[in-house]
């Protein structure tokens, strides 16, 4: 079990405990534990988002979504507690300010959780764009563009928009998407490949170097190295890169990288 999975296994029960304690109104040490768990989890998530790093990156997007939803539930309990206090003890400016701040963070966490779980209204736009892609590309592009405007940190929407727009606009769209999703490996994969394909080799090499520095243990930059070696018909280098990439992807449990490795491997000539 990797560290992120172990963290999630401990975090889930802690969030459930804090939610139950807050919901039934236990006080004293239980209340202190609830408040501590709420503060730690919320600040932890927001801090990672602020620094543009991915929270628990080795965890699946769905698992991260459920944990974020749990943190949202803790804030909902906190907001409810403040409302009860104001009802019992009367209006207090400090309580009102705390509730407003909690509501702002609540909305932020809820949006992030719904995006991770694919339960936002934007998912309807995304699905409609996918359906319209084959029959009405212009409509599909409008829907995908609207999805990226509503949910700027949604990398799948940027990838869909770039794919519908075609090679001429793909690089510009992906660069814009990377600005909002700087930790997205998927956008970096497609963008670097697009830069190589469009002849912008120097820019692609610069981005590939940044990719290696940002994700030093990831298999994905090595897969791109293998694809480049394949284009240069350096079969030995391509096989060496693929072997390294496969080891890394296996350690990181990166299913997408393993699938890409198999695609590149299929392009190698058979050994004589």
pTM reported for the whole predicted model = 0.64
Q: Where in the chain is the domain with CATH 1.25.40.10?
A: 131-265
Q: What is the pLDDT of residues 57-70, one digit of tens each?
A: 888 888 999 999 99
Radius of gyration of the chain (CA): 23
Rounded to an integer, what is the distance from CA 221 to the centroid of its chain? 18
What pLDDT sits at residue 66? 94
Reported confidence tier of residue 272, pLDDT bands at 50, 70, 90: very low
List own/partner pairs for 80-88 with CB under 8 A and 24 or more apart: 80/22, 81/22
Report the distance separating Cα 120 and Cα 157, nearest Å.
12
> What's the whole-number average pLDDT of the chain?
89
Cβ pair 147, 161 in contact under 8 A: yes
Q: Specify whether domain 131-265 bears CATH 3.40.50.1980.
A: no
The sign of the torsion formed by the CA atoms of 248, 62, 72, 107 equals positive
Spatial CA neighbour of 242 closest among 257, 228, 260, 261: 261
Q: What is the pLDDT of residues 155-186, one digit of tens each?
A: 999 999 999 998 889 999 999 999 999 989 99
């Amino acid at each position: 079990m990797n560290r992120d999975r172990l963290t999630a296994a401990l975090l889930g029960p802690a969030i459930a405990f804090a939610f139950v304690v807050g919901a039934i109104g236990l006080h004293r040490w239980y209340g202190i534990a609830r408040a501590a768990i709420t503060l730690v989890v919320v600040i932890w998530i927001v801090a990672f988002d602020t620094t543009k790093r991915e929270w628990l990156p080795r965890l699946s997007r769905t698992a991260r979504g459920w944990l974020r939803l749990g943190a949202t539930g803790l804030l909902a309990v906190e907001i409810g507690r403040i409302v009860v206090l104001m009802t019992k003890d009367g209006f207090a400016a400090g309580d009102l300010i705390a509730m407003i701040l909690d509501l702002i963070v609540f909305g932020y966490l809820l949006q992030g959780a719904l995006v991770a779980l694919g339960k936002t209204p934007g998912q309807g736009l995304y699905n409609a764009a996918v359906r319209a892609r084959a029959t009405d590309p212009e409509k599909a592009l409008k829907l995908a563009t609207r999805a990226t405007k509503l949910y700027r940190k949604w990398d799948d929407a940027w990838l869909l928009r770039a794919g519908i727009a075609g090679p001429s606009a793909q690089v510009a769209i992906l660069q814009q998407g990377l600005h909002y999703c700087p930790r997205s490996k998927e956008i970096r994969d497609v963008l670097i490949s697009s830069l190589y394909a469009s002849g912008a080799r120097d820019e692609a090499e610069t981005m590939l170097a940044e990719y290696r520095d940002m994700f030093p243990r990831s298999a994905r930059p090595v897969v791109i190295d293998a694809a480049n070696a394949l284009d240069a018909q350096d079969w030995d280098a391509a096989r060496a890169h693929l072997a390294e990439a496969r080891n890394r992807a296996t350690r990181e449990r990166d299913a997408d990288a393993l699938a890409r490795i198999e695609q590149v491997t299929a392009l190698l000539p058979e050994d004589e």
